Structure 1
């Protein structure tokens, strides 16, 4: 049975939102974290197995093979995906980035750092971008992008706004990609 692998590094709120949505749609899910500080309970509390994942291609390949992974959704994952895995899962690895790419992407642009940069730049819009993962960090083809008005908002307000919308919409986007790219159904 094919599964969706949700990979995350932090608290797991976005990962839990994706997992909950996919489970409701009948999609089998497995989770992976890359550090001991990640909140494993975010998915384990949903009855989803969560594995520790080292950043090697061999570790990724083994987990993906053992768990019959067909789609990978990054949800707050802070490391690059090994090139062998990117090649093997071309078009079937997606990431949600908390800003409007190509602006505010790349090294160091994650979490609150992104929102600080957006506000410091004086941007009147922010949002989030779902993109295919490629070997070039945060530069893969855009799958979905939503612009949000942020003029006059503080860093904390921008962060909360973007995160709330991202948690609401990213799960449905991952599910649609599952349907289109794994099940090969057309809407």
Structure 2
């Protein structure tokens, strides 16, 4: 059984979908959720599923505390599911299999500060006819790692960033767990 560690900073709806997906099939198991926000709802989700959680601050992410904790869980794959901090090179050197989901069709609308509603608002303001999700490997630069999967959705009927966000969440929940499952199976 492959070990998956999730990193999340917020609500954790993607984390929840990933946990459910791997509880249904035996490709892997979510062994821990790491969060930089002590009040993040994702930590409640971890507790509800009896999954270990690790809370840390930005300094601990970069100074070895998080790396030390990761060693305890021996992840085969690290998944960033709504994790908002830049992932440190020191961790990537030891765990090169780190993936992220981005709520747009990269390379458009990526980079520092481009997350969540910031992305959806920019897509709306630029009158895009479609947007989507990109699942990619993490490297030392924001949103520049090798693409694994992209899926687009038409948003011509969307009048608000919230409507776009709803369509993107549907794509994330449908495809993110499946793509992780394929990666786990093929590694």
Per the normalisation by structure 2, the TM-score is 0.91
Q: CA separation in 1, counterparts of 2:137 and 2:115?
A: 17
Q: CA separation in 2, counterparts of 1:17 and 1:65?
A: 25
Cα deviation digits, residues 102-125 of structure 1 (max 9, x gap): 000111111111100001011101
Q: CA separation in 1, counterparts of 2:67 and 2:117?
A: 31
Of residues 154, 158, 176, the one that matches 1:149 is 154
Q: CA separation in 2, counterparts of 1:69 and 1:46?
A: 18
Which residue does the alignment assign to 1:43? 46
Which residue does the alignment assign to 1:118? 123
Structure 1: 4+ residue segments shifted above 4 A = none
Which residue does the alignment assign to 1:80? 86
Per the normalisation by structure 1, the TM-score is 0.91
Which residue does the alignment assign to 2:183? 177
User: By how many angstroms is 1:170 displaced?
Assistant: 0.3
Q: Secondary structure at the match of 1:28?
A: strand
Q: Secondary structure at the match of 1:179?
A: helix
Which residue does the alignment assign to 1:184? none
Cα deviation digits, residues 104-163 of structure 1 (max 9, x gap): 011111111110000101110100000000001100000000011111312211110111
Which residue does the alignment assign to 1:67? 73
User: By how many angstroms is 1:49 displaced?
Assistant: 1.3
Which residue does the alignment assign to 2:34? 32
Which residue does the alignment assign to 2:9? 9
Q: CA separation in 2, counterparts of 1:123 and 1:101?
A: 13
Structure 2: runs of 5+ lacking an equivalent: none
User: By how many angstroms is 1:60 displaced?
Assistant: 2.4
The aligned length equals 180
Q: CA separation in 1, counterparts of 2:98 and 2:3?
A: 13
Q: Larger deviation: 53-62 or 172-181?
A: 53-62
